[in-house]
Structure 1
């Protein structure tokens, strides 16, 4: 199902900012987003940043003890959302960092909302050439 929803420039900027992991100063690193939520605008025509729904790298270990638990608390119980998380995993040989795109659709969300969000997530994938991050 095609959607007429567009991705806002703010969302594209966040994707691009989160891709860059190297920085010149520790202060800039602390201000980098670890997790951010996106939602549809009120008119359901744009994917936008959800204000105040983010975890900064500098928050981890300071005001946020468990980033995953804090992330889950940011998600609404009765509506859909998109999220972008800067995930790190370790193996015996190395440390791996990836950007993970998440589509959140709880059972309690209205059917219409689920349908709009499901059809609109492809808009982000189509903008992947502009974003150039691998979306999962």
Structure 2
């Protein structure tokens, strides 16, 4: 599975400049490559991000999660989310699962990985617990 250059460029912008809150990636099966489907401005929320993920299709996503530690320090973690809802086609799930590690290696700087099959597996509480 090829990775479109835009995927890496957008990720670098998120990582270095905090240009985006999230990026949603899609596998374009005919072209056999991962492309950028959607980006969210830095002022977008976790709810906006969750709303971008389709109910019955797989996606990869990156989310820049900001939080305050118990010591009152402002921090941020870059999450990689492998979204694979139960209602997605089996073929699609297999393609996303088999391409995930290679795609993730292209995005240097991911700090936390989440595998989610329904929205409850990536709600804000999950991000909070995994960020520390």
Matched with 1:16 is: 12
Matches within 5 A, 1:84-123: 84-93=62-71, 94-123=73-102
Q: What are structure 1's unaligned runs of at least 5 residues? A: 22-28
Q: Residue 6 of structure 1 contacts residue 123 of structure 1 at CA under 8 Å; is this kept in 2? A: no
Deviation beyond 4 Å, 4+ runs, structure 1: none
Residues 1:39 and 2:26 aligned together: yes
Compared CA separation, residues 126 and 55, structure 1 to 2 (3 A): closer
TM-score, normalised on structure 1? 0.74
Q: Which has the larger radius of gyration?
A: 1
Q: TM-score, normalised by structure 2?
A: 0.77
Three-state SS of the structure 2 residue aligned to 1:20 is: helix
Q: Secondary structure at the match of 1:17?
A: helix
Answering whether residue 3 of structure 2 is matched by residue 7 of structure 1, we say: yes
| Match in the other structure for 2:40 | 55
Question: Unaligned stretches of 5+ in structure 2?
Answer: 114-132
Higher relative contact order (CA 8 A, sep 6+): 1
- Report Cα offsets for 1:31-60 as digits up to 9, x if no partner: x1111100011415111001xx22101xx2
- Paired residues, number: 111
